[in-house]
Chains A and B, each alone.
Chain A
């Protein structure tokens, strides 16, 4: 299980642009480094991250091996209505992780 840290403002004014920060624990093994035995360590990365706001996708990132270990991504969205932001990460070897945060829009 991966550790996840999400920073979403708990409350926001309707129509304001809010910043969202996400941090997730993952080695992001790029798949071209030889290990101690000289063999290439197989690639093991997160390939996709999505953020849905009350069910509608507002942000998506396709990740490649050049994304640093423990991916940290920040982006913005308009606070449209109260509800839930849902985050999902998927990757190699069946990796999946989800997290969510509530927001009150007034």
Chain B
């Protein structure tokens, strides 16, 4: 296991452009902004997505991408006629664009949810709320994931 650590160390010490490009080559195939768009279309079809009504909250500077606190609220009266049906969370750069989907209804009382997610890199995260009237609302935020210091060589 130590050899990979060595690579990292060498990067830290000689963090020149060559190091960065070399490492770029080993990047695992991840989701891309396009893959995210495709994943979103799969869920919402051709519907129009407006911005607003949903508020996604993730600290702008994440201490460790393994466990990222995320919370969200959606403005809605949450009555039997007018409520939030679901909220879909997507990301740009994890190996998969889908993060989590919450299904709720008028019995929730309010659309106020939190969970902990993984972010493999600094990137944009988008939340899309699906309303009972068929409309979609979104909020996109950008998150910076910092590097944890002093990692392990073995596990």
**Chain B interface: which of A2-10, A54-62, A93-101?**
A54-62
Which chain A residues lie closer than 8 Å to B109 at the CB level? Answer: 17-18, 76-78
Q: List CB contacts (< 8 Å) of A40-93 with chain B.
A: 53, 56, 58-69, 71-78, 80
Bound CA span A56–B107, Å: 10
Bound CA span A61–B112, Å: 14
Bound CA span A101–B104, Å: 19
The answer to whether A68 touches B68 (Cβ under 8 A) is: yes
Q: A68-B66, A69-B67 are in contact. Are A75 and B112 (CB under 8 A)?
A: yes
- Chain B: residues with Cβ within 8 Å of the partner, total of 31
Main SS class of interface, A: strand
**B138 on the interface (CB 8 Å rule)?**
no
The answer to whether B91 touches A66 (Cβ under 8 A) is: yes
The answer to whether B102 touches A59 (Cβ under 8 A) is: yes
Which chain B residues lie closer than 8 Å to A56 at the CB level? Answer: 107
Instruction: Among B98, B113, B119, point to the contact of A75 (Cβ < 8 A).
Output: B113
Q: Which residues of B contact A (CB under 8 A)?
A: 1, 28, 66-68, 91, 94-96, 98-105, 107-119, 155
Q: Which residues of A contact B (CB under 8 A)?
A: 17-19, 30, 32, 36, 53, 56, 58-69, 71-78, 80
